[in-house]
Amino acid sequence: MAKNKKIRTHFQKNRSVRTRRTDWTRQFDRHGFEEEDTKQHERLSGKGELARKRTVRGTQLDTGDEPGLDVHLHVDESACLPGRVLSVRGLISTVEDDAGQIYRCATRRLLKTIATDQRHVVAAGDRVLFRPVENTCPAEGVIERVEPRYGSICRTSRRRQQVIVTNVDQLLIISSAARPRLKPNLIDRMLITAEKGNVQPIICINKVDLVDPAGLQPLIGVYSQMGYQVLLLSAKTGFGVDRFRRVLTGMESVVAGQSGVGKSSLLNAIDPTLKLRVRAVSTDTSKGRHTTAAAELLPLCCGGYVVDTPGIRRFQLWDVIPEEVAGFYRDLRPYANLCRFPNCTHTHEDDCAVKNAVADGRLDERRYESYCNLIEADGD
């Protein structure tokens, strides 16, 4: 890594607001302003981009598509310990050091004020350097630096980037065959996120005991032809649980999906020592109920780590423009370069190779409709 040096970087606008006087009427009733000359003064305040820059000591990074700060801050490493963020709840992050000691850590203010698109600068799975605070019980510390990331899963939340988890090898997309109903379009969005984050996606369909598995074969066939691994599971009967355990063993994984699909139930099935809370699906709406409050990194008895995440009801892509979407669809990608127009959106143009492939039955019609819906939703 390059030698630490002084660099200029962008910071957020000062969050403190000048207090506004609200007692003008009271002052006038008491004293009046007729005989008092208005004080003439000149007020100077920093404006523009220059006021949002500071000089810090560190290394400039090129993070590419990975979320994170573009500055690797210089810290006193002799006073810090390396650790892994297990979960983030509000302003407090739970960090585990290399010896297995757990610390409740706040985040250094300098980190929180560096300008970034992220909602939170620290996420579950991050590798960090933190400074332990002496003589505290439970053990506490301060996160001084977040190390560069790989394998991140992100989405858009309140027009900012929400990093769900970082530093994982594979994304297990959990769906349910019924209660709640299977949502292939949500699977497609998560597949794009995995492709963008260079994370291996695995599609897992839980609760197959509630339906006839033969009805799932057309959907499984489409994803399997594209090279995606598909697992049929039942946390209730144990069907496919051994295979699910083998997929997770020795890997750093994250499970994600809508509420009620059985993410926590499947993890309890492969490792009963986790004892994760589960709740039944609502009988009125057939929708899941939020049980997992925050993404949490959990060690598995079979080896490796897994991150259990809160249920997702809406998954909006982050930093994916409509022109890029076709490149993330493995089945559309071979036909996209054969269109008549180089900027073809594959929705309404003439001589579109993608539309012709759908008409000829070479492309799955549902996948094409999923692509069109995603273009319309994220292109507005």
Compute the C-alpha angle 95/125/128, nearest 5°: 55
Residue 361: predicted pLDDT: 94
Q: Which residue has the higher pLDDT, 7 or 157?
A: 157
CA dihedral 147, 151, 156, 160 (to 10 degrees): 10
pLDDT in tens, 74-114: 888 999 999 999 999 989 999 999 999 999 999 998 888 88
Q: How far is the C-alpha of 356 from the C-alpha of 347, rounded, in Å?
A: 11
Residue 63 has pLDDT above 80, yes or no: no
- Fold of the CATH domain 153-308: Rossmann fold (3.40.50)
pLDDT of residue 110: 85
| pTM for the full predicted model | 0.84
Q: What is the 3-state secondary structure (H, E, C) of the chain?
A: CCCCEEEEEEECCCCCCCCCCCCHHHHHHHHCCCCCCCCCCCCCCCCCHHHHEEEEEEEECCCCCCCCCCEEECCCHHHCEEEEEEEEECCEEEEEECCCCEEEEEECHHHHHECCCECCCCCCCCEEEEEEECCCCCCEEEEEEECCCCCCEEEEECCEEEEEECCCCEEEEEEECCCCCCCHHHHHHHHHHHHHCCCEEEEEEECHHHCCHHHHHHHHHHHHHCCCEEEECCCCCCCCHHHHHHHHCCCEEEEECCCCCCHHHHHHHHCHHHCCCCCCCCCCCCCCCCCCCCCEEEECCCCCEEEECCCCCCCCCCCCCHHHHHHHCCCCHHHHCCCCCCCCCCCCCCCCHHHHHHHCCCCCHHHHHHHHHHHHHHCC
**What mean pLDDT comes out for the span 217-224?**
95
pLDDT given for residue 35 in this prediction: 53
Tokens at 244, concatenated: 């699910």
Q: Which residue has the higher pLDDT, 31 or 153?
A: 153
Query: Is the per-residue pLDDT at 250 higher than 70?
Result: yes
Highest mean pLDDT among 4-18, 254-268, 291-305: 254-268
Q: What pLDDT was estimated at residue 380? A: 43
- Cβ-based neighbours of 66, under 8 Å, separated by 6 or more: 148, 149, 150, 152, 197
Identify the band that residue 64 occupies on the pLDDT scale cut at 50, 70 and 90: confident
Confidence band, pLDDT 50/70/90 cuts, at residue 47 = low
Share of the chain above pLDDT 70, in %: 85
Span 222-245, average pLDDT: 95
Query: What is the reported pLDDT for 69?
Result: 75
pLDDT at 154: 93
Nearest to 187 by CA among 178, 179, 176: 176
The mean per-residue pLDDT over the stretch 283-306 comes to: 77
Q: Where in the chain is the domain with CATH 1.10.40.50?
A: 322-378
With 70 as the cut, is the pLDDT of residue 4 above it? no
Cβ contact 184:195 at 8 Å: no
Average pLDDT, the chain: 86
Residues of the chain with CATH 3.40.50.300: 153-308
- 322-378 fold: Ribonucleotide Reductase Protein R1; domain 1 (1.10.40)
Exposure string of 155-165, with b = 16+ CB inside 10 Å and e = fewer, is: bbeeeebbbbb
pLDDT tier at 243 (50, 70, 90 boundaries)? very high
Mean predicted confidence (pLDDT) in 137-146: 93
The C-alpha atoms of residue 79 and residue 131 are separated, in whole angstroms, by: 6
In this model, does residue 41 exceed pLDDT 60? no
**CATH 2.40.50.140: which residues of the chain?**
55-146
Distance CA 260, CA 174 (A): 10
CATH of 55-146, one of 3.30.160.270, 2.40.50.140, 3.40.50.360, 3.40.50.1400: 2.40.50.140
Q: How far apart are CA 183 and CA 154, in angstroms?
A: 19
Half-sphere exposure of 11 (CA within 13 A, CB side): 17
pLDDT band of residue 142 (cuts 50, 70, 90) is very high
Range of lowest pLDDT (175-189, 254-268, 285-299, 300-314): 285-299
**359 pLDDT exceeds 90?**
yes
Residue 117 binned pLDDT confidence (cut-offs 50, 70, 90): confident
